[in-house]
Amino acid sequence: MLKTFPKGGIHPSENKITSAKAIKRMAVPSLVNVPIEQHIGIPAEIVVETKQKVSIGQVIAKTGGFVSSNIHSPVAGTVTKLDKIIDSSGYKKQCIVIRTDAKDPSNFEEIEMPLKTDIELEPKAILQKITDCGIVGLGGATFPSQVKLNVKEGTNLDYLIINGVECEPYLTADHRLMLEKSEEIVVGIKILMKALQLKKAVIGIENNKKDAIGLFKSIIKKEDGIQVAALQVKYPQGGEKQLVRAILGREVPKNGLPLDVGVIVYNVGTIFAIYEAIQFNKPLIERVVTVTGKKLENPSNFWVKIGTPIKDLVAEVGGLPEGTRKLVNGGPMMGKAIKNTDVPVTKGTSGILVISEDEASRGKAENCIRCGECVFVCPMGLEPHLLMNLTEKGFYEKAAAEDIMTCIECGSCSYVCPSHRPLLDYIRFGKNIVKKLETAKN
Amino acid sequence: MSQPIIISASPHVHSSKTSKKVMYDVVIALIPAFLVSLYVFGFSALLLTAVAVISCLLFEYLIQKYLLKSEVTIGDGSALITGILLAFNLPSGLPIWMIVVGSLVAIGVAKMSFGGLGFNIFNPALVGRVFLLISFPVQMTSWPLPDGITGATTLGIIKEGLMFGDTMTNISAQIPSNMDLFIGITGGSIGEMSALALLLGGIYLLVRKVISWHIPVTVLVTMAVMTGIFWVINPEGYASPLIHILSGGAILGAFFMATDMVTSPMTRKGMIIFAIGIAVITVVIRLFGAYPEGVSFAILIMNAFVPLINTYFKPRRFGSKIKAKIV
């Protein structure tokens, strides 16, 4: 029996068209736009000036507080300007624009490193290195990794869970990484187990990636305490709370964290970034991005420098096809629609999805027929139809009492609604107002 | 890029399920029962259904177009279903003008006056039927039998027989066999006779995931258990559970009327409570009430409780009231 979470969930068409495409290295872009807000929390503080020369991996923006992260230059070059550029959020955000020095050899050095299995650093030093290297959660939430590792003395912590679920349709970045860097990921897991003094770790992978499951199963035979859990294919299993429930049967309390049930969760991409940071002192300046879409000439997976404009990626897969109507930063369920291809790749960009005419528009919203589908698929046990109605009518306090803030915005409700009602749109709006009301109260 | 890029919030994909498809699946599921009614009652069943459907669609059109001056949505399939279900709940041979009045009450009073699709509290087809039953009891309870003579339904014969102190052994001789009840060679409203045809449609709805098993199974099981208890205690004074399930509107009600999405609860827990309520009220009316049949009343009464059920039987929120389980 494959494990999964019991309540709710959906199974949209997987469309993993790039799962057999090996990760290619993108050519070094001539220009990068590096936003200082690539993580959840406080934006980083710029420490470079216009016209300043920067080397590859140099800190260009320093962590701005406890929940924040360093940002490094992805290329060697010159800072041309500090400008506000529209990022995937749709807002203009402060960016550091760097022109790549085409003559600097460090830009073109081979970055692939041999496997290094000995872990020399001690737990304290590991934590410091993760902070220095600007590692954030690469699954999409971009939560600064060192914050999670800062576990208080005496906390009952017994499991590390590695999220290799990749439940979003289309995306294959984590899948490819697991296939191509499996040994490295296992070392990364051991690094974290050492840092947290943990004895047990489980890699959770959905059963549509049987090759990755098999690969890890054969590698971990010689490892102590690491297991692989094959999971039933069900969205949103990559959600932390759903994943912990699926693998260990533990339910994270309402408004709580996995830590409350003794678990810490890291995405496989993050684990690999931590491996590189600890073993080779390499900061987070690149990541795997899936560039995909049904009509694309050559959809594929790439190693991409942070700050690369999305148009470079699109050009690499054969350009935007005729009839393109939507560009999504991320997967189709939780990704953000972006306005143009100047938007830069950031630490949280797991994929670029190009959607054409036939699938880009939403159906016309009709009356709710009270079928209850949204209630049945909600993995958090909420009543989306009710939350939408309460928000629409302005009953924000009632919506808060109905647990609107525990919504994880997975979009399952909007996905199934046969009347195409904008359920999640209203719930997001309601959450925003409830958050403001709560801040005002305190 | 010839046309502008669309910006919208996630999710960017959608399931292929639409309200229209849901509605037309229900229509497809009703076809077997309709064919049986054509076989048993011939042209009069066709006429009855056609009049009910056309008048339901027409009243919805007229009300939306001229009274509410709103968008006309008669193509969504909901009025079509109301028409078919209303017809299925009427005896063949009912005067045409009564069918039209029933349709007007169903669409005009029960549906549009509440705000149209999705806002009605009571099942429109049942409101139409019950209105006719109360207003025109004679015409509404004269059931043409398959052989052309007018007579009482199975449940009617049992009710009357038991009331006059007859035993079930004697009554059994006057009612169709269980096999005839199952196939549908019996009297009654045109759509409720054939358990077999209705079950076929019900299974189709379950397979297509238009309905879940919770309401129909709970209604039928609760009815069987309740009538079974009485029957075991006194088999001469009460009909067997099998007769209760196979006759009257039990199966039509359980699969097609009680499962109406708009007027049933939205959580699994709520559906079970709702279904138990329907079964209990139906059995109480059938065994102890003045009417031989009570499915319509039971569903309407439980419809009224749906908002309350939705308020008090919520899904369990993730992470609430958990038993601490840390190794």
> Which pLDDT score, from 0 to 100, does residue B245 have?
93
- At the top level of CATH, the class of A123-280 is alpha beta
pLDDT band for position B145 (cuts 50, 70, 90): low
Record: contact B11-A325, CB cut-off 8 A: no
Q: Which residues of B touch A254 (CB under 8 A)?
A: 317-320
In what helix (H) or strand (E) does residue B46 lie, and over which residues does it extend?
A: helix B43-62
pLDDT for B148: 61
- Residue A305 and residue A214 in contact, taking contact as beta carbons nearer than 8 Å: no
How would you write A31-81 as a 3-class SS string? Answer: EEEEECCCCCCCCCEECCCCCCEECCCCEEEECCCCCCCCEECCCCEEEEE
Q: Is the pLDDT of residue B146 over 80?
A: no
pLDDT of residue A368: 93
Domain with CATH 3.40.50.11540 in chain A: 123-280
The pLDDT tens digits along chain A (442 residues) read 799 999 999 999 999 999 999 999 998 999 999 999 999 899 999 999 999 999 999 999 999 888 999 999 999 999 999 999 888 888 899 999 999 998 888 888 766 778 888 888 888 899 999 999 999 999 878 999 988 888 887 788 999 999 999 999 999 999 999 999 999 999 999 999 999 999 999 999 999 999 999 999 999 988 889 999 999 999 999 999 999 999 999 999 988 999 999 999 999 999 999 999 999 999 999 999 999 999 999 999 999 999 999 999 999 999 898 888 899 999 999 999 998 888 999 999 999 999 988 888 888 999 999 999 999 999 999 999 999 999 999 999 999 999 999 999 999 999 999 999 999 999 999 999 999 998 888 7
Q: Do B6 and A416 touch (CB under 8 A)?
A: no
**How many interface pairs between A and B have CB atoms less than 8 angstroms apart?**
171
pLDDT computed for residue B327 by the predictor: 41
- Burial profile A76-108: b = 16 or more Cβ within 10 angstroms, e = fewer: bbbbeeeeebbbbeeeebbbbbbebbeebeebe
**pLDDT tier at B167, thresholds 50, 70, 90:** confident
pLDDT at B47: 94
- The count of other CB atoms within 10 Å of the CB of residue A394 is 11
Of B18, B117, B318, the CB nearest to A7: B318
Per-residue pLDDT tens digits for B105-128 = 999 999 999 999 999 999 999 999
Cα torsion A78, A80, A84, A89: sign: negative
Distance from CA of A241 to the nearest CA of B (A): 9
Q: Are the beta carbons of B316 and A353 separated by less than 8 Å?
A: no
Name residue A200's amino acid.
Answer: K
- Residue B49 near residue B34, CB atoms below 8 Å: yes
Are the beta carbons of A372 and B265 separated by less than 8 Å? yes
Rounded Cα–Cα distance for residues A242 and A236 (Å): 7
What interface predicted TM-score (ipTM) does this complex get?
A: 0.88
Across the interface, do B325 and A376 touch by the CB < 8 Å criterion?
no
CA A65 to chain centre: 21
pLDDT at position A304 = 95
pLDDT at A175: 96
Q: Rounded CA gap, A140 and A265, in Å?
A: 13
B151 pLDDT above the threshold of 80: no
Cα distance between residue A97 and residue A261, in whole Å? 43
Domain extent listing, chain B = 19-139, 155-312
Kindly indicate the confidence band of residue B1, based on its pLDDT and cuts at 50, 70 and 90: very low
Cβ contacts of A422 on chain B, cutoff 8 Å? 9
